[in-house]
Chain A
Amino acid sequence: MFADIRTVVWRDWLVLNRRLGRFILSRMVSPILYLIAFGWGLGSQIQVQGGSYLDFIVPGILALNSMIMSFNAVGTPVNMSRLYYKTIEEYQIAPIAATSFVIGKIVSGIIRGTISSLVIILLSFAFGATLTVHGWFWLVLLLNCALFAALGFVAAMMMNSHEEMANFNTYILTPMSFLCATFFSTDRLPSFLHYLVEILPLTHASKALRLAGHNQDPSLLSVGILLGYFLTFLLIGVWQMKRIKG
């Protein structure tokens, strides 16, 4: 099983490695804009929870970016491979387990999400943010990448056109990007919205990364919720891969 996972990751790494430079450069654009607009621009005028807005927002940007990167690293290629290029059939007719394929794709998503997050961490230091990057921080970040890579897989297997995939982004990821404690504290939201965003994984990723980034232990409940979401999406993904047969 490990060899099969490695094969799936090997293929994706080969493709990524060919355009690693372009990939890293393109990943720098949005974070730089966020850091300029919310860090230097808006952030210079406000303080949040007794600290600078830049320090508040960097973990949020990391959570948001790793979500989008990991989701799209798996969702778009798997969806295209299933619906248009049919390259997924090469894995289906091979004597490998569905679980190996799904885990391999998730690992590829984690790699892309992590590279992208590293770029942001380095940029945020360049912008003067103070951030502690230790064990808990990496654990939460990797868990966030893993769960959204797994969600990307689930969406790719569920959506039957490129347009539906774009809609998934619009209706699920975009609202989470703005509402889930990325740019502001959810405490000030109206109570119904507050409780709604509290059940979403990105909220827990943002909060846990913020605590870990400020040298505090994140809530175990948040880590547990992220783990729970990841395992749920993983199981759904494996089930979908097994029943893909028409």
Chain B
Amino acid sequence: MIQIKNLRKEYGNRTVLNNVSLSIEKGEIFGLLGPNGAGKTTLIRILTMLASHSGGAITINNLQLPEEARKIKSLLGCVPQHLNLDGELTAWENLELHGRLHHIPMQERRQRIDELLEYVELSDRAADMASTFSGGMKRRLMIARALMHRPKILFLDEPTVGLDPQVRRRLWDLILSLNHQGLTVLLTTHYIEEAEALCQRVAILEKGKLVITGTPADLRCKVGQYAVEWTESDGIKFRFFTVRAEAVTFMNSLDTSTTLRNTNLEDVFVELTGRKVRE
């Protein structure tokens, strides 16, 4: 669905994306994982044509970017990290504006608005100004807006940042149900649990470079499925094991108190880059 080859983005002397190559398959939820400043948002902005790229090639649904930008735009839905609803319009008018900009015929547009407001559970707030909505409601309305023109691919840039855990879970359910309907989803996140809960495959980005790509299970296996964690005077220490019995033997050999747990993507990230995802 999306092929990215040797993608580069430079701002003056600063390289933000350094020869990134990725392939995202139709119907999958693909996660871009990395700390702030890793280049995740820049990659999404390039794919949605909000930013240009300095080098490399991008193909979306066999269409070249940026040459066939107009056709590609019809295939994409985008929910940016910042809340960019039009606060001077109601929820209904925000969707109506999007529908008009995407040339959806009036009858279909009106029907779609009703459907989507129902889907994101905002029907009773249709006539209220978007500026009066809570963060979670705004995010849901932005997802509805991005779905108005029935895109084939949905980009979600840090979809749950700043939301409380309950609202986050609700959004995860929404994203999963969209994916079950066949929508390809590319999301960026620096929440490990979000990537693990939603993504069929993830790519780890660090300082503009692609570190590794694979399923969360595959990536965990790369470092070992079991993690032993203990505390020393200079901080928390880890060691990873592929066999549980080896991990238990190692725990018994230590004098200090230890914890045995399953490896997560944060461990993979730390092991591969030497940094924490939320640094």
The interface-forming segment of B70-78, B184-192, B229-237, B261-269 is B70-78
Most B Cβ at <10 Å: residue of A7, A91, A93: A93
The interface-forming segment of A8-16, A26-34, A178-186 is A8-16
Residues of A within 8 A of B82 (CB): 86
Interface membership of A132, Cβ < 8 A: no
Residues of A within 8 A of B101 (CB): 4, 7, 90-91, 94-96
Residue of A nearest to B84 (CB): A86
Interface membership of B174, Cβ < 8 A: no
**Nearest CB of chain B from residue A91's CB, rounded to whole Å:** 7
Would B97 and A246 count as touching, CB distance under 8 A? no
Residues of A within 8 A of B102 (CB): 94-95
**In the bound complex, CA of A90 to CA of B86 (Å):** 9
Residue of B nearest to A88 (CB): B84
A11-B89, A14-B89 as given contacts; A89 in contact with B50, CB under 8 Å: yes
Interface membership of A245, Cβ < 8 A: yes
A87-B86, A246-B11 as given contacts; A93 in contact with B73, CB under 8 Å: yes
A87: contacting residue among B70, B74, B76, B84, CB under 8 A: B84
Residues of B within 8 A of A125 (CB): none
Residue of A nearest to B101 (CB): A94
Residues of B within 8 A of A11 (CB): 86, 89, 93, 97
Most B Cβ at <10 Å: residue of A85, A91, A95, A245: A95
Interface membership of B52, Cβ < 8 A: yes
**Nearest CB of chain B from residue A114's CB, rounded to whole Å:** 21
A245-B52, A246-B51, A246-B52 as given contacts; A89 in contact with B97, CB under 8 Å: no
A15-B88, A85-B84, A89-B84 as given contacts; A7 in contact with B45, CB under 8 Å: no
**In the bound complex, CA of A87 to CA of B76 (Å):** 17
Would B86 and A246 count as touching, CB distance under 8 A? no
Residues of A within 8 A of B11 (CB): 246
**Nearest CB of chain B from residue A245's CB, rounded to whole Å:** 5
A90-B86, A246-B52 as given contacts; A14 in contact with B93, CB under 8 Å: yes
The proximity string for B residues 59-87 relative to A, scoring 1 for CB distances below 8 Å and 0 otherwise, is 00000000000110110101010101111
**In the bound complex, CA of A91 to CA of B89 (Å):** 15
Interface membership of A92, Cβ < 8 A: yes
**In the bound complex, CA of A89 to CA of B89 (Å):** 16
Interface membership of A220, Cβ < 8 A: no
A3-B103, A85-B84, A86-B84 as given contacts; A92 in contact with B89, CB under 8 Å: no
Interface membership of B100, Cβ < 8 A: yes
Interface membership of B49, Cβ < 8 A: yes
Interface membership of B48, Cβ < 8 A: yes
Interface membership of B239, Cβ < 8 A: no
**Nearest CB of chain A from residue B70's CB, rounded to whole Å:** 5
Interface membership of B98, Cβ < 8 A: yes
**Nearest CB of chain B from residue A4's CB, rounded to whole Å:** 7
Residue of B nearest to A85 (CB): B84
Q: A7-B97, A11-B93, A93-B78 are in contact. List 14 more A-B contacts (CB 8 A).
A: A15-B89, A86-B80, A89-B84, A90-B97, A90-B98, A92-B49, A93-B48, A93-B49, A94-B98, A94-B102, A95-B71, A95-B74, A95-B102, A245-B51
- Chain B interface (Cβ < 8 Å from any Cβ of A): 11, 45, 48-52, 70-71, 73-74, 76, 78, 80, 82, 84-89, 93, 97-98, 100-103, 145
Sort A-B residue pairs by CB-CB distance and give the 3 closest, nearest first: A94-B101, A86-B84, A7-B100
- Chain A interface (Cβ < 8 Å from any Cβ of B): 3-4, 7, 10-11, 14-15, 85-87, 89-96, 245-246
